[in-house]
Structures are given as structure tokens and as C-alpha cells.
Amino acid sequence: MVNAGPVPRVKRDEVRSRLLDAAAEVFAQRGYAAARLDEIARAAGFTKGAVYSNFASKHALLAELIEQRVSAHLATSAAELQARDRPGRALEDIAEVFADGIVAGPTWARLLVEIAQQAAYDPEVRAVYTEVRRSLRDELAAALERACDRLGRTPAVPPAQLALTMQSLRLGLVLEYGTDPEQVDRDTVVAVFTDALHALVH
């Protein structure tokens, strides 16, 4: 019988990545408060010890998940907007990228709502969430300002306020799409974002 040799160890970066992916799914499906670390470890294919060797606590796991997922989301959205490069339809492009973020990534969308709810009464989660949301808002405000400049149009409110409006609208549409995707489909979500942008940009 041939000895296959020892099973190669999974690299630390891969372990962390798999744990974060599993945490995103479990938090989105069960909620942060109800999620257990052993459940996350099982979903990632590891033991609970793997979680503690990479993250000090469930809060630490959530904090890195927020930072990682939001950074990836920002990079993806920016790349999509740059790839479209339609100066005359800059607002429509933003609306479509927003809509695709909701429709194409249901786990991310559910996770966003779960994190927002948890942040409302958990100071540790709130601290991370607030920092990330502000970063998102700044990036969005800059993108909206660039879009207005390219169109030669002026927002009815300051870019930061317009970005906050879009963030708030997105959270609401995440909930609507999550509960009624047949009626609140992608076309509807795009239309809502587009109409809101055109109403606030003259």
C-alpha cells in the first residue's frame, strides 16, 4: 500500500478567508447574536480552535468581516463604474451598480442589514460599522460629485447629504428585495435609484 504522506496544512491566509466567508453566510442566515463560533468553524471546514487561533472573539471576526467585505465592495463598485464610462449616463450607471450590489449579492445585502441592526445596540460593532459607513459615504459622495461634473449638473443638496440619502435608500431596498424579490426586482430597484438621483440632481 502506497503511503500518500501527510495531508498538507492549509495556509493561514486561506484559513482566515474561509472563516470569513463562512461567517458572512452564518451571520446573514442566523443573525449575529444567534450565530455560534463552532457553527462558523464547521461551515468553513475547521474546528472551533481555528477560529480562536485567528480571531480573538466573535466581535473581532465581525470587525474584520465588515472591513474586508466593504473594502472589496468599494473596489468592485469603483471598477464597475470606471468600466462603464458613459458620461451622459453617469447617474444611471451609479443606480445600476447600486442595484446589482443588492440583487447579485444577496448574502452581502442581508449581512449589511444584520450589521446595521446589531450596530444599533452593540457599541463594539457600532464603532467599526460607523467608521466603515463613513468611508463608504465619502467614496460615494466623491463618485456622485464626479458624475454631476461630467453631466454639467448641480446636486440640490451637498454631495455628502446626497450620499447619505442613497445609503439610506439602499438599506430600505435591501429589505424590500429580500422579502419581495418578485415585485421589487432589479428593474424596479434601478428605477427607484435612478428616479431619486434625477430628483436630487438638477
Contact status, residue 70 vs residue 43, Cβ threshold 8 Å: no
If one looks up domain 63-200 in CATH, what number appears?
1.10.357.10
> Domain extents for the chain?
9-55, 63-200
CATH 1.10.10.60 fits 9-55, yes or no: yes
114-137 pLDDT, tens digit per residue, is: 888 888 888 888 888 888 888 888
| C-alpha distance from residue 111 to each of 7, 22, 144 (Å) | 34, 12, 25
Distance, in Å, from the CA atom of 42 to the CA atom of 34, rounded to the nearest integer, reads 15
6-61 pLDDT, tens digit per residue, is: 435 668 889 999 999 999 999 988 888 899 999 999 999 999 999 999 999 898 89
Residue 161 corresponds to which cell in the numbers above?
447629504
Distance, in Å, from the CA atom of 202 to the CA atom of 195, rounded to the nearest integer, reads 12
